[in-house]
Amino acid sequence: MNTTLKVLLSVFFVILCGSPIWYHTMTVHQTKLPTNKLLNLSSSANPKISIQIKLLFDEQILKTQNKDPFLSKVKKEVTKLSKEFQQEFLTFQINTQAIKLKKDYNNMNDPKKITKFLEESLSFHKEKENQKEKEKENNTEMFEPKYTLVLLNIPNLSEGIYLPPTGRLIWINLGESTNEDNLLNNLRNFFPIFGCITNTTKFTTQTDDLHLSFILLNQDPRGRVLNWEFEEAFNYYLQPTLEKLNKRFSEITFDSEMIAYADLEHFRVHKSNEANRNNEKGVHYSISKKTLRRVIQIGEWSSSVATNKPVLRFILFVPGQKFTPLFINKNSGKNRDAFIVPGIGGISIHNLNKSETQLLNKNDLRRSFLVFANQMRLFLGIKNLEKFNYYDPSNVIHDIELDMLILDTLIKNLNEAKHSLVSLHTLIEELPYMEIPEEIGTHIQNAINEIQFSESNMKKKNYKSAYFSSKRAIEDCNRAFFNPSISSQLYFEMQNRFAIYIPIFLPMLAPLITKLFKQISSF
């Protein structure tokens, strides 16, 4: 064997031995994931949530009917109705019963008194106390979607569905007409409450924890330095709702601030002599609704608050003397004085009357705070339904709405968690060269455990624990999905690696290979 051949063979020997070492250095570490569990979870359906509705009829309504056949007929019809509204995760169990209410309530016309009367008559207050005792014993808050629907006929009160602020007792006033059609119509109007949550107006779908920032924005403080009794107004109008939300749903914090000097550059302000919203004649100013649509960010109207949560701003805008009174001009209909900017918050315009002093007290702030309360409902995703009487404006969120919010969020969290786990699994499968550190494996395992825990709690009807487990599951999924180690990697397939090395080594190897062939052929 001549020297040339020896050299060539040694070169190729080195390449042969070095290639596995090179290939080994190219492999990436991927931690083992519980793929089977993951796939089983994703394919399994969420346990259904059963909502129990007890339908109570006042015997007076049934005077003209045969009691038992009527009740069973109504039950059948209502069950049919409920199936129309049944969603993937909700099922209804309906029971009907006739009751005799002791007092003559027909002459009442105050919804609050009627609610109180019903609670006493049906021993609801006793149930509430029993529930509180049970909660103290178990050291947890019970949450059972059981609702009592009472049908009454009160001629002095408007027809419709009345939602009391607290408790799971709802009553429907059939008015003067107690026939079957009217009854079924009213029941048909009732069921949409179980679908009252929507994502269209929700402030953010990423998280339920929010920070509320209340701002008093005095456009031109010259001559009138404003102050507001924020604490009193907040404690009266919004504090009970926030307490309810913090206890059962999410962590919501708040702050307040007073800012002066703001410009109206974003909005085109028109001067008008037409009658204003109170039908008073005189000069007033208006912003067209079209201009509002173009507002993307408020800029200097925002507060300076540092928080990790999304900030939802409620701005009480007091226009300067130059632009008072200021309204939002709807194309047809009344002038308005409040609007929302998606992603930022809600604004309410407060035109100072001449009689108002520079201190806005609780009563002066009533209208604006109720507007904020309604805007908060929109941002939480709660719809205002037709035929429902929200007769207590100080109560922002009713118990049944909060129940639906929790259940809707629970199901959404579970679906999202499963979906993101499956996406992550698919991504890992498609990119075998993506490094998966141990940390991600731990988060995925935790997410799976939380989802399983949540589902088992749903089967036991412990929806509160199920909800908080689902929240933790989402957090773990996000930590896995948005782990910094994934985003910093460049994913090279093997073909790409060859494409990097070939331009270097091929020109080097080409003459060696041709020389080798020549040597071999010369033999």
Partner 1 sequence: MYHLKYGEIGRYSPPGGELIATFETKEDLESKFRTVSRKISGIFGTSQKFSDLTISAQPFYTEFNSLESTSQRTHYSSLPREPVCTENLTPWLKLLPCRSKAGLASLLNPIKLYDLFYHSMSVEVTRSQENSLSFHQQLLLVVELKEFKFSQIFGTPLIGPICPFSSQTKIQIEGFSDYSSFTPTPEEIGNNQVGFILKENLNNKKDFNLHYSPKENTNNNGYNHNNIGNGNSNNGNDNNNNFNNNGINDENISKNQSIKLNRFLKESGKIRGGVITQITNLEKNDLHLTLYDSLPWFMRVYFHTLTIKSNFENKEIEITDLNLEREQDNESNLFANQASLLRIQTSQDHGRPSIFELALVLKPGETFQISVDYLKGFLNFEEHPFDGNRGFDIAPAIVSMHGKKQNLKKRIYYTDSLLLMLPTPDFTMPYNVMTITTTAFLIWYGSFLNNLTGRAGLKLKKKSKAKWIIKPDKF
- Residue nearer to partner 1 on the CB measure, 164 or 320: 320
Yes or no: say if 473 and 413 are a contact pair by the CB < 8 Å rule: yes
Calpha distance 298→412 (Å, rounded): 31
- Residue nearer to partner 1 on the CB measure, 23 or 261: 261
Q: Omega before 325 cis (within 30°)?
A: yes
Q: Could you say whether residue 333 binds partner 1 (CB under 8 A)?
A: no
Query: Rounded to the nearest whole angstrom, what is the least distance from the CB of residue 513 to partner 1 in the complex?
Result: 11
Stretch that binds partner 1, among 1-9, 412-420, 452-460, 478-486 (CB under 8 A): 1-9
Out of 108, 259, 264, 422, the only residue in the binding site for partner 1 (CB under 8 A) is: 259
Calpha distance 349→327 (Å, rounded): 7
Per DSSP (E only), the strands in 135-277 are 146-152, 160-162, 169-173, 210-218, 227-228, 252-260, 269-272
Query: Rounded to the nearest whole angstrom, what is the least distance from the CB of residue 15 to partner 1 in the complex?
Result: 13
Calpha distance 325→304 (Å, rounded): 28
Alpha helices, H only, 171-260: 180-190, 230-237, 239-248
Helices 463-481 and 438-459 meet at what angle, rounded to 10?
160
Stretch that binds partner 1, among 257-265, 385-393, 397-405, 492-500 (CB under 8 A): 257-265
Query: Rounded to the nearest whole angstrom, what is the least distance from the CB of residue 254 to partner 1 in the complex?
Result: 16
Kindly tell me the burial class for residue 172, based on how many C-beta atoms sit within 10 Å of its own C-beta (0-12, 13-18, 19 or more): buried
Q: What is the contact mask toward partner 1 in residues 277 to 316, using x (rule: CB under 8 A)?
A: -----------------------x---x-xx---------
CA distances from 266 to 167, 284, 354, 365 (A): 44, 19, 27, 26
Stretch that binds partner 1, among 168-176, 199-207, 331-339, 504-512 (CB under 8 A): 504-512
Query: Rounded to the nearest whole angstrom, what is the least distance from the CB of residue 351 to partner 1 in the complex?
Result: 19
Yes or no: say if 401 and 382 are a contact pair by the CB < 8 Å rule: yes
Residue type, 441: G
- Residue nearer to partner 1 on the CB measure, 59 or 300: 300
DSSP-derived secondary structure letter, 157: S
Query: Rounded to the nearest whole angstrom, what is the least distance from the CB of residue 177 to partner 1 in the complex?
Result: 59
Stretch that binds partner 1, among 4-12, 33-41, 129-137, 343-351 (CB under 8 A): 4-12
Q: What is the contact mask toward partner 1 in residues 104 to 143, using x (rule: CB under 8 A)?
A: ----------------------------------------
Q: What is the contact mask toward partner 1 in residues 216 to 245, using x (rule: CB under 8 A)?
A: -----xxxxx--------------------
Stretch that binds partner 1, among 100-108, 179-187, 478-486, 510-518 (CB under 8 A): 510-518
DSSP line for 322-358: GG-SEEEE-SSS--B-EEEETTTEEEEE-PPPTT--S
Out of 23, 261, 498, 517, the only residue in the binding site for partner 1 (CB under 8 A) is: 261
Calpha distance 58→9 (Å, rounded): 102
Stretch that binds partner 1, among 42-50, 359-367, 448-456, 505-513 (CB under 8 A): 505-513
Q: What is the contact mask toward partner 1 in residues 177 to 216, using x (rule: CB under 8 A)?
A: ----------------------------------------
Calpha distance 144→138 (Å, rounded): 15
Query: Interface residues with partner 1 (CB under 8 A)?
Result: 4, 7-8, 221-225, 258-261, 300, 304, 306-307, 508, 511-512, 515
